[in-house]
Structure 1
Amino acid sequence: MTEEQRAALGEDLATWIESLGLEGHLTEAGLPTFRREGGRARWVDPGTGGDLTLAQLQEVEGLLRNEGSEPEHAVPVALVVLRRHAQLRVELLGSPWHDYASLAELRGASLESTRFAVHKAAATHRLLVVPVDERSVVPAFQLTGAGELRPDLAPVLEPLLAARMDPWRVWAWLVRPVALLGGLVPAEAAADPDDADLVLHAAVRLAERVSAGS
């Protein structure tokens, strides 16, 4: 009976996770994963590589269904958040950006001098550099057509980067509409003298919240 319960629970959890499209985010969330073998779900203990026991599967179920007052209708919030973050990263990387080589070419400068300039600007919180795998990515929205730093954006970047805000979050906040700005996009509004002070105020407020840990 225990084996039947284990198989039934494993299949129920796997089908549920698949229906939500979250199966690819289990590892990132630090949870056991499953794979289909002969159409049946096999849950694997990441430590031993062996099958999860019934008790372990019940523990996984408790972790996944711990949100909401009705567990059978719960949604694994942590996995949903991870999926949203992954989708956001794909969206942001679909917009223009530079690595050291492409930025050096745009500037008509050497690779080494460009790398040094990027590091210096990042260290003084005037340039957003986002780590992507083993690369350093410089989002293009913060640069002029010649590849130089936008002077109007530097005051906005400084408080956000100084607060050690997650670079992906900085990138997303700057290039998407912000409710506090009446739907304006910060990176665009900063170039308008009529809106620049408002954008700076919003950036400072956000940086304060990040520093406070909220």
Structure 2
Amino acid sequence: MTDPVEVMQARAEQAMRLAAHRTALLHTGAFTVAELAAMRGQDEACTRMWLARQIGDRALITVTHDGERLVPAFQLTAAGDPRPELQPLLEVLVGADLGDWATWTWLTTPSAFLSGERPVDVAVSNPPRARRSAERFAWAPSGA
């Protein structure tokens, strides 16, 4: 039987690792709705409606951090539009209900499914390969 203190320590360590990982992701860039609105030259209400459509179309993901909705920057063009090459991957990953933080992580981290390349990069250089890897990852036991 596992010692309850050890279980609590393991959970605390896991929570700290997760928080550190999320902080590292956030340091790669993310926009608040207000920042995205300014980038797009729109007011916040219009941007919120636009963002809801993009999420519904599986063209963008958002994450919640400290109670605020954030749009990871890697998935946007300089004009603040969704990068079209990512939508096929997002369709698969969002459809598998992996969670937005896990989706962000997988898209921007070197993947064994892509011989160590990042899915976000392969989506540009070889879209069919990137989509196949997303499908393999999404449906692998325990998200592999």
TM more than 0.5 = yes
More helix by share: 2
Pick the structure with greater CA Rg: 1
The match for 1:21 is none
The match for 1:82 is 15
Alpha-carbon distance in 1 for matches of 2:143, 2:137: 11
* Structure 1 gap segments, 5+ residues each: 1-60, 67-75
Alpha-carbon distance in 2 for matches of 1:64, 1:124: 45
> Aligned pair 1:177/2:118, yes or no?
no
Number of residue pairs matched by the alignment: 143
The match for 1:144 is 77
* Structure 2 gap segments, 5+ residues each: none
In structure 2, relative to structure 1, the CA distance for the partners of 1:153 and 1:213 (3 Å cut) is closer
The match for 2:41 is 108
> Aligned pair 1:165/2:106, yes or no?
no
- Equivalent residues of 2:58, 2:90 under 8 A apart: yes
Superposed displacement of residue 147, structure 1: 0.4
- Equivalent residues of 2:110, 2:118 under 8 A apart: yes
Alpha-carbon distance in 2 for matches of 1:198, 1:108: 35
Residues 147-206 of structure 1, C-alpha deviations (whole Å, 9 max, x = no match): 0011110000111112211211111111111111111111122111xx221111111122
TM-score, with length taken from structure 1:
0.61
Question: How high is the sequence identity, in percent, across the aligned residues?
Answer: 32
Alpha-carbon distance in 2 for matches of 1:199, 1:84: 28
In structure 2, relative to structure 1, the CA distance for the partners of 1:213 and 1:103 (3 Å cut) is closer
Alpha-carbon distance in 2 for matches of 1:148, 1:178: 25
RMSD of Structure 2 on Structure 1 (CA): 2.2
> Aligned pair 1:202/2:143, yes or no?
no
